[in-house]
Each structure stands twice: as C-alpha cells, then as structure tokens.
Structure 1
Amino acid sequence: MPHAKVITRPVNPQARAALEQAGTSPLLARLFAARNVLSADELGDSLSALLPHGQLKGCAEAAQRLADAVQNHENILIIADYDADGATACTVALKGLRGMGAAADFFVPNRFEHGYGLTPELADIARTRGAQLILTVDNGISSREGVARARELGMDVVVTDHHVAGRYVPDCIIVNPNQQGCAFPSKNLAGVGVIFYVLTALRAELRGRGHFSGSLREPNLAELLDLVALGTVADVVPLDRNNRILVSQGLKRMRAGKMCCGIKALFEAARRDPRKAQPFDMGFGLGPRLNAAGRLDDMTVGIACLLAENDETAQQLAAKLNSLNQARQEIEQGMLADVLADFPAALPAEQMTLCAYRADFHQGVTGIVAGRLKERFYRPTFVFAPAGGGEVRGSGRSLAGLHLRDVVDTIAKRCPDLISRFGGHAMAAGLSMREDGLAEFERAFEQVVRETADESLLAQTYLTDGSLDAADLTLPCARELAQPVWGQGFPPPSFADEFGVSRQQRLGGDKQHVKAWLHKDGGEYEAMFWRCETDLPARVRVVYRPTVNEWRGNEELQLYAEYWEAA
C-alpha cells in the first residue's frame, strides 16, 4: 500500500495545563487542547451557553412575520430540502409552529421532478395549496426567481438556510448565518439548527405579545433537540462549540428514551441501541436511512416517519426507509463495480482528477459513489448520471485543500455554455450540464485543479494525536474517549504507534479483513484492519482508534486501524 503522511496535531501547552487544572483528565486535556479548546468553560453543554438568537441576522424579522402569520391564522407552507438535514428541519419547523398554534403544512420537492430549492414551479404549487406565507428550511438562499414568483402571486417568503449565498440573494426576509452582514459567531449551523433558532425567536416574540394563555401552553422547544442533533450530524457540518451543545443535548434525550417515535424506530431499523447513542450512530445508521428516501423515492416518507405519533406507524415507515436504504446500497455497489471495471487498479501519477459517467447510472446515488471513488483513488471526483432533456447531473467530492465549488465556478466562467446550474461547498458540489459536454468538463476539471493545487494534494495525510502510552491502552480509557461529542471539525482521537504483530487471521467471505494481535511495551491488543488485502509484516506502524467492542454482552478493548505501513 502507498505510504501516507502521518502528522501529529500540535498541542497548546497553556490550554492543556488550564484544562488539567480545572479537573479534566490528562489524556482528554491533551486531546481538547489540540482541538483549540482553551478552557474548561468550552466543554459544558448547557443550553444557556448557546449563542443568543439576537445575533442571527434576520431572525427577529422572521419571528415577527411568523408571529403575525400565527396570530392571523395564515396558511404557512414549509418548503424543505430532500436530505436528512432538510427532513429534520422540516419536522422541527412543523412541530414547533403547530405547537405555537400555527396553521402549517409542508411540501418537499422531488429530486427528479422539481430540482433543488424554491423554484417558480414550486411557488405555483404553493399557491394552489392555499399558502399565504412560504417558509423554506435548509434551502432558498439561491431561489431568487422562485421568491419573485411567490411574491408575484401574493405570498410572502421567509428563507431559512445555511448554504453560502451566490452573488444574488432573494428579495425577502433571510435567516442564514452565512449571508453577508451576519455577525452570528458560528457559521456552522445546519439547516435544522437555523430553524431551531428561528423558533426560539418566534416563541419569545409570541410570549411578548401575550399569545400563550388559556389552553395554549408555551411549547418546550428542547423536546425538538433529538431532531436537531440528527440533522446536524447527518449534514456533516463542523461541530464547533455551539453545534456540540445542540448535539450533546439531543444525544442526552436519545439515551434517556426521550426521543420522537420516528427516531426511536430508526434506531431499531439500524439495530443500534439509543441508550448508547453516539454521533457515529446518527451519521452512519440513522442519517443514511433518511437520505435514502430523498435519493431514490420521495423524502415525504422520511418526514412522515419523523412526524409519526405512535410507535407502530413509525416502525412501518422506518421499515420502508430501511428497504430504500438497502436498495440504495445495491445500486451504489453496482455502479461502483461498473466504474472500477473501467479503471486500472491505480491511476497514472500525473492524473489529478477523476470523472465517471454511464447512461444507466442513478442520479440519486452519484454523490455516494463519488465519495467511494475519492477514497479509493484519492482524487477529486465527479460522477454523472442522465437527467433527461439532453442534460446530465453530477455530484463531486473533494480532498482537503481543494474548494470544489470554487473549482466548478471557475469552469463555469471558462466554459460559459457548458454548466446550467451548480452549487455546493469546499468538499462537495453538484451541477447540471449538457450531456454532450462531458469530455469538455473532464478536460476543464483536470486543468483547473492542476492550476489550483499541486501534487502534494494527492498525498494522503493522517492528522493524529501522536503516540498513546501503553498505560492508556485500556478499556476504561476507550470508554472515556467515547464520551465527548466528536465529529466533523472536532475529529475523534486517533493515534500513531509502532507495534509488533504476534498473530493474525483473515475474516469475511471475501477474506479482505484482518484481525491481528499487536504487542507494544509488554501489552497485547486485538486490532481490526478493514479492507486489508495483504498479510501484515512482523512490525507495523499503525494509525488507530481505541474502541469499545461489544460481543455477546461483554465489552473489550479493540483497536480500529485506519492506516498501516511496514515499520
């Protein structure tokens, strides 16, 4: 296997000392100090420590307009995105608004029929459904024409979104931490986080108007935090301190059994224990099942699952989501096999990008396949599928250090009649373009990346927390490492050490996994090497994570190998 760069995170010694002095264990103090935590105050997860909604530009105006709609019994239609963030955001909006006495309903566009965001066509649909106010969640910042059409039809629009705005934004009330002029300190809220903030502002506005009295009690918005946590983790936004509070509070509700029926049913479908809920469960168990609805079918079924008011209904809908996810996995594996059949085992060293297209590809799964190819070949990758009307749609995945949306923006400027629509961020982007323009795009993609980045981009890098003493290679230590909320932007700890290999065995029907027993400083440790096709030498250098392996009701320490090389 090719050698990667293994780098140790620098540790702020003053922060480390301050954390230890405040009672944090030496190991966690070292890990937190390497992740820019400067004091123990930043480790608390109290809701009172959340950034105030008053700092979020447009939030007060949105609360006032929504409060008017609530009190005037206007019909509010929520327009959601069709991913897990959009589904949780829609559910949070609907539950929150109805809990405050609003007349609210939702519509989620179909990926294949309506495209993305509030389009003019969706504005027409909203009007036929009697909407007086449109509320977007997790979309809308690029919907200039759709908002204009809605206003032409006599509807007001409030946009809540977190995606980066283009040059032009819609003419309406906008709540988005990433819009120009917004001083909100956290730019990392997911769409579900933004609408949760809007609801807190709306509740305060209605409280000030004396709205909650008699039979209408003020809703406890903390009851929505299981959904906020799921959408935040599933959308892979950076877990800064504000997001860690939201996720931590949601996890506490799940572990205590205080989650909605839909999330409970998704845990059951994913065969995971909510009493031990971790961000990993949401990112790799619950999130993909929700996303499968938007990828293959219609996210309405996902939202219906999250809105279910009893276990039986939730379980039926979660079973359908589970079936969709299995179908998604089969489609993905078939597409991946087709692509790999067309490519050599290794790409030429000078080739910096990868593009794939076949006429039978499924556009709902292109992003996942692009991610798999990126991992395998370690190249920025786009995968395209037919979209009808002489167009193809592509999803791309990038490497750290290359801003993919900016690359597509450059291609669109150089080839002005090639790309019809695009969007995205640093690590992922999507676009629609002419079907006969694939070769032109492939050339332009390679050229722009070559100009933007050097070949060091293609050297896989593992950022680790250095060596771990044998005294810390224990089951209690692995349990301690499992407690904090790790995730995007606040990565779980990984370590790099040399070990001797005492014995090993091949696992799985394809014999592609290795279980090995490693030894260091007198201790022996079981380790798993996934997708490992060669036998290990007598000594290895390993990048690994200590994990708690549960087996037949017992817990044991197991090292999860992320990378290895001969020592």
Structure 2
Amino acid sequence: MSFVRTISRRECEVGADWPESVPPLLRRVYAARGAHDLQQAQPRLAHLLPPDTLGGLDAATALLADAIVQDRHIVVVGDFDCDGATACAVGVRGLRMLGARHVSYAVPNRMVHGYGLSPALVDELAGLEPALLVTVDHGIACHAGIAAAKARGWQVLVTDHHLPGERLPPADAIVNPNLRGDAFPSKMLAGVGVIFYVLLATRRVLRGSGAWADAGPDLSVLLDLVAVGTVADLVPLDANNRTLVAAGLRRLRAGQGCAGLQALVEVAGREAAALTAADIGYGLAPRINAAGRLEDMALGIECLLSDDPRQARELAEVLNGINAERRGLQQQMVDDAEAVLTRAGIAGDAMPAALCLFDAQWHPGVVGLVASKLKEKTHRPTIAFAPAEPGSELLRGSARSIPGFHIRDALAAVDVAHPGLVEKFGGHAMAAGLALSRAALPEFSAAFRAHAEAALDPALLKSVLLSDGELDVADFCRGTAEALRDGGPWGQGYPEPLFDGVFEVLAWRIVGERHLKFELGRGALRLNAIHFGGWRDQPPPPRLRVAYRLSPDDYRGGQAIQLIVEHCEPL
C-alpha cells in the first residue's frame, strides 16, 4: 500500500452566517468542503436546479407527452447496475404517474445481451411491439442497438450521463448533461437523476396542455430511488446531487420509501430512522447490484417496483442471498489477484503505474468490484478482465481509477493510438467498461500501462488521506457523533468527516478473521474502535497514529460511540 500522509483541513475560514443549531465543529467541516453557509451545506429542494438548461428536453418531452396522450407502448430499457435499476424504476413509476397506461420495462442480461441496448436485446423486445424505447443510464454508446430499433420503426429516447464519443447515436432525442455544449450547470447527475429531470420537464409540458385540473402528480415521491441510484453510482455529490440525496434520505428515514427499498433496509440490518448515504452505499446498493452481477437485474427492478410489502420482502431476501454469494466470489477473486501480484513481485517500487489483470475463471459480473478493491489497495488505475462467458474469447473488462487520471479518456487515447484493439468502451472519469478479444489483451495491457506511465504525475501515485484535524476531548460524545452523521449526505466529492490523532493501544483482538477491534486510550479517555480489514498478521504496536470517523455505536446503544478506523500507522 502506498504511504498515506494526513493533511489537516482544520485550519479553514469559517463564516459567521450560521444558525446556533450548527455546532462549531460541523461549521468547520462544512467550510473545509467549500460550504460557507447552511444553504450550501444542506441544500433543500427549493434550491434544486431547474431543468430549463438541460439540452434535448424539448424533443424528449415531446416524444413522451405524445406517447402518453396517444396511449402508445413505452418500454423503459434499464441497465444491470444499481443506477440503471433505480433509473428504470423511476422511469416506469414516473411515467405511470404522468398518465402513461402502457409502460413496460426491459433490462439486458449481462451474460446474454452484453451492455446496454444491443441488437440482441432489440430482437428480444420485438415481441413487446413498443412504440417508444427510453434508455436510462445508457444509450450514448449504443449505436448499433439504436439503429436496429429505428430500423423496426420504433422511436428512441436516450437518457444517459456517460461521456459521449465522437459521434452520437441515431436516436430521436438525447438528454445527457455531458453532451458538448450542454448548458446544465451540474454535470454530475447520475443516470437516475437524468430521467428524474426528464420526468419533471414532461410534467411541466403536460400541465401546460391542461392534462390535470391541479398541478399534477408529486414526483418528489420518487426521490428515495433517486437518492439510492445517485449514491450507488459514486458520482460526485455536488450541491445539486446533495439536494436530491438528502431529500431521498428524508423520505427513507420517515418510512416513506417504496416497499422494495424499505424491505432492503430491513434485510441489510440498517436502522431506517438513522439511514445515511453510507448505509445506501454499503447496505442497499450492493444487494441491488448483486442481481445484475450474478443473476438477472429484473429481480432488483421488480423489488423496486413492488408496492406489496410481502412481495417486496420476499424479493429483498432473494437479493440478500445473491449478495452473500457475490461476497464470497468477490473475496476469492480478490485473493487470486493479490496472489498474482505477490508471485510477480509487483509491490512497492516495482509497482507499475497501472494494473491489468485477467483470470479465465473470473466472473464478468464481479470484475468491477475486484478492480475497485485492488485500486484501493495499490492506489493504481486498475482494470480486471474476465471471459464474457465461460470459455469465450471475448473479454469484458471493468476499470477503476484514482483522482487525477480520467479512465474513460485513457481508454479513448489507447483506442486512438491502437485502432481496432478495443472493440468497445465507455464510462466516465473514475469508472469505465470495455470489451476486447483475449488475443488482444497483452498488447492492450502494454499500451494502457505505457499511457499511464506517460500521463500520470508520480505524485498522484501516493494516496493522500485528508483529515479534518484532531478532535477535542469534549467532542468524543454521542451528540457530536450524531451531528456528524446527520450533517450530510456525505459521499464522493463531499467526503464524510475524518479526524486523526495519536492513541495508546490498550487492548485489541481479531474479529471476523480480517478485522481488528481496539480499545484506544487518549489521556483519561477510553474509546472503542474497529478497523475493518485491518488485521496484518502481526500485533499492532503500543502507540498508533489513527485516521478515523466518529460514529454512534448503535450496537451498544445508549450514549456509546466508536471510532471507525480508516488508516493507522505506528509511532
């Protein structure tokens, strides 16, 4: 693992325009993230950016409004990750709320159809006789599939957030905040956020046509799904995304989420009333994602569309079981990958600027998680490959990156320098996917590593842990822990508060084979702490410098708190 240095955020200018209810510590945390008043720190729905400047809305809303009024068959085409599944559920639920009576959905099976709206999926959809296809969380790279749909006489609306290529697909309308020249201020919308905005704009069009005697349906009831998809896709939580996520969390905490999400909260063992973005990221999203990784994402979408609590609970239990299988498979694959690095002597100064790993026995639905784990461990852009199906010569790769290295642009650069080497690719700055032949893997690996060596400043290969400084003794209390927990939503680009300090190791033990449970001391303080994945096959030293999050300890209850250790180093 790269050396981690801690940079304090503590000394930052804090403005005076704060209500008394916001503790000074939280004000300092907000200021360190660029939020200098309560509106910036905790934006409300009243501050949500309007859809007006989002490009392509006129054509998109015309297609949807006409299909609704004419009672045409609309098929929402989802994707097999959590963003795609929640976007699909938002699209289906929202269109029905707007008056569409003939709405279906479809989702590709990773092993059968490949990614997105492919010609194979279009062939399968022919039996549904759709008039309009609406892609969610994909479509911007689905040239062949959209052309196949158009050849059948269907209309196609693309809603996506992934970066476009040099040319756009032949859709009837495209809504994507990352299109060249699009004036929408927030480029960070997830796929679920894009379809939500399209629904908002469509409601305005239908309202203007006199579709309702009042203002029309309240689409804010969809924000629980928007929050889950936004957090799961790891898009930066700029002010607009924080607005969406915070509103969705409020619904979930109040027990107003859809039946499927409420069931997933229960099977994940989370407390609904104190749900956080981290609970979504580590509890709900993996269970939804598991369906698309190992089975069929239709299971996840059915759970999110169910209004029957009993059915939703049954589906959530199935997803929970699939997720348990996914965890075991993922750990085995990560162990295999780490063993490959060890045998090859790839560590420390011998570590290349980027990693490409392949195993013929790996599952294509889990390689993204493997790439993510190895990226975290090595602090290197990482691509993990697996056969598209057992014995296939086509490989599917999933890429994860580090700050400062745009992974989708890196794949584009390799594609330009080596035409035809990569069969297809897409994604964004921190995550991408690609396909290539097994025979092309050695050449691609060399080209990708060469590009990384040339493009990466060596300083970027040192992982940096940013700290909000040391906590005062008085801050180690339940009130502070709850204020920090509830002060979010925290996430990508707006990190959860992290503190550091020197502690005595008073006691320790191994839990769950890989985790370390501590009792840490600082003066008269005695603090419980846990370091997930922290066991390094040797006892910890008597004194540690620890980077940690302060958290309520709901397991112990009462006024208990604990430190969640993110990193520690001996003194």
TM-score using structure 2 length: 0.94
Paired residue secondary structure (1:206): helix
The whole-number CA distance in structure 2 between the counterparts of 1:217 and 1:110 is: 39
Structure 2 match to 1:158: 157
Q: Residues 224 and 258 of structure 2 are in contact (CA less than 8 Å); yes or no, is this contact kept in structure 1?
A: yes
The whole-number CA distance in structure 1 between the counterparts of 2:2 and 2:139 is: 43
The whole-number CA distance in structure 2 between the counterparts of 1:92 and 1:18 is: 40
Structure 2 match to 1:343: 341
Structure 1 match to 2:382: 381
Per-residue deviation, 1:88: 0.7
Show CA shifts across 1:22-71 (max 9, x none): 76321111111111113322234432211111121112331222111111
1:474 aligns with 2:482: no
CA, structure 1 residues 346+557, in 2 after alignment: closer, same or farther (shift >3 Å)?
A: farther
Q: Residues 468 and 495 of structure 1 are in contact (CA less than 8 Å); yes or no, is this contact kept in structure 2?
A: yes
Per-residue deviation, 1:98: 1.1
Per-residue deviation, 1:152: 2.5
Show CA shifts across 1:164-183 (max 9, x none): 11111123211111111211
Paired residue secondary structure (2:553): strand
Q: Residues 74 and 104 of structure 2 are in contact (CA less than 8 Å); yes or no, is this contact kept in structure 1?
A: yes
Show CA shifts across 1:314-353 (max 9, x none): 1111111111111111111221222233331861513322
Q: Residues 11 and 33 of structure 1 are in contact (CA less than 8 Å); yes or no, is this contact kept in structure 2?
A: no
1:411 aligns with 2:411: no
Per-residue deviation, 1:559: 1.2
Tell me which of 527, 535, 541 is aligned to 1:537. Answer: 541
Would you say how many aligned residue pairs link Structure 1 and Structure 2? 561
The whole-number CA distance in structure 2 between the counterparts of 1:512 and 1:275 is: 27
Q: Residues 99 and 219 of structure 1 are in contact (CA less than 8 Å); yes or no, is this contact kept in structure 2?
A: yes
1:177 aligns with 2:180: no
The whole-number CA distance in structure 2 between the counterparts of 1:90 and 1:2 is: 39
Q: Residues 510 and 535 of structure 2 are in contact (CA less than 8 Å); yes or no, is this contact kept in structure 1?
A: no
1:51 aligns with 2:49: yes
The whole-number CA distance in structure 2 between the counterparts of 1:82 and 1:2 is: 33
Q: Residues 135 and 159 of structure 1 are in contact (CA less than 8 Å); yes or no, is this contact kept in structure 2?
A: yes
Q: Residues 2 and 461 of structure 2 are in contact (CA less than 8 Å); yes or no, is this contact kept in structure 1?
A: no
Per-residue deviation, 1:230: 0.8
Structure 1 gaps of 5+ residues are none
CA, structure 1 residues 453+185, in 2 after alignment: closer, same or farther (shift >3 Å)?
A: same
The whole-number CA distance in structure 1 between the counterparts of 2:201 and 2:425 is: 32
Per-residue deviation, 1:415: 2.4
Per-residue deviation, 1:113: 1.4
1:134 aligns with 2:133: yes
Name the Cα RMSD after superposition. 2.0
Q: Counterpart amino acid of 2:95?
A: L
Structure 2 match to 1:507: 510
Show CA shifts across 1:502-536 (max 9, x none): x112122536413132214x433222233232333
Structure 2 match to 1:116: 115
Structure 2 match to 1:206: 206
CA, structure 1 residues 516+553, in 2 after alignment: closer, same or farther (shift >3 Å)?
A: closer
Q: Counterpart amino acid of 2:76?
A: I
Paired residue secondary structure (1:488): coil
Per-residue deviation, 1:373: 1.7
1:327 aligns with 2:362: no
The whole-number CA distance in structure 2 between the counterparts of 1:252 and 1:516 is: 34
Q: Residues 162 and 191 of structure 1 are in contact (CA less than 8 Å); yes or no, is this contact kept in structure 2?
A: yes
Per-residue deviation, 1:281: 1.1
CA, structure 1 residues 351+509, in 2 after alignment: closer, same or farther (shift >3 Å)?
A: closer
The whole-number CA distance in structure 1 between the counterparts of 2:332 and 2:21 is: 52
Percent identity of equivalent pairs:
43
CA, structure 1 residues 164+11, in 2 after alignment: closer, same or farther (shift >3 Å)?
A: farther
The whole-number CA distance in structure 1 between the counterparts of 2:568 and 2:4 is: 9
CA, structure 1 residues 474+509, in 2 after alignment: closer, same or farther (shift >3 Å)?
A: closer
Q: Counterpart amino acid of 1:429?
A: A
Per-residue deviation, 1:21: 6.7
Structure 2 match to 1:523: 525
Paired residue secondary structure (2:526): strand
Q: Residues 74 and 134 of structure 2 are in contact (CA less than 8 Å); yes or no, is this contact kept in structure 1?
A: yes
Show CA shifts across 1:221-258 (max 9, x none): 11111111111111111111111111111111111111
Tell me which of 13, 29, 32 is aligned to 1:31. Answer: 29
Q: Residues 15 and 36 of structure 2 are in contact (CA less than 8 Å); yes or no, is this contact kept in structure 1?
A: no
The whole-number CA distance in structure 1 between the counterparts of 2:195 and 2:206 is: 16
Q: Counterpart amino acid of 2:351?
A: Q
Per-residue deviation, 1:454: 3.2
